[in-house]
Amino acid sequence: MKRKVVILVSLALVLIATQGFSWAIGAEARLDTQSGLSQPSWMVTGQFPKIPIMWGLGAQFNGNQWNLNVTGDWWLINQHLASMVNIYVGPGFFLAANPFEIGARLPIGLNIFPLNFLEIFLEPAPALLIYSSQSGVTIPDFRLQVALGIRFWFK
């Protein structure tokens, strides 16, 4: 497990060191429609300038159980909605390591920036599990991934 943490941190540092990369670090709690509120998941997120894909690299540890995940969301819509509230919507994907899973998702996020470097967000994302190492191809297997959290942005 320590080796996986070292790999996760190394990947995050590579992303941070990339020139022109805006990055954020934050915490989120996830809600899974199958099992209720899950353990908090820590995620490092980032986005290249002028490319509307938000990358996420996350880890979850609960006793002897662990999971690593990757998300990639293409924000097709990223607009001011009202007052301080912004909305973003677009297709995405997710990968998980334990069990191995691949799926598609549609994040519909609301965020505010009370300070220019602080983002508070709520992101429900309907998801479709395409493949799981536990059950094989499972279409249709719908899920709801919900993230609530904060991100600190460094540009």
> How do the domains of the chain map onto residue ranges?
2-154
**In whole numbers, what is the pLDDT of the chain averaged over residues?**
79
Q: Which CATH number fits domain 2-154: 3.30.420.40, 2.40.160.20, 1.10.10.60, 3.40.50.1580?
A: 2.40.160.20
pTM (2 d.p.) = 0.74
Q: Is the pLDDT of residue 36 over 60?
A: no
Mode of pairing for the β-strands spanning 77-82 and 41-47: unpaired
Q: pLDDT (tens digit, 9 = 90+) per residue, 6-31?
A: 566 666 555 555 555 666 776 666 65
DSSP letter for each residue of 115-136? ETTEEEEEEEEEEEEEEETTTE
Check residue 74 and give its pLDDT.
Answer: 93
Q: pLDDT (tens digit, 9 = 90+) per residue, 54-112?
A: 888 888 777 777 778 888 999 899 899 988 899 999 999 998 888 888 999 999 999 99
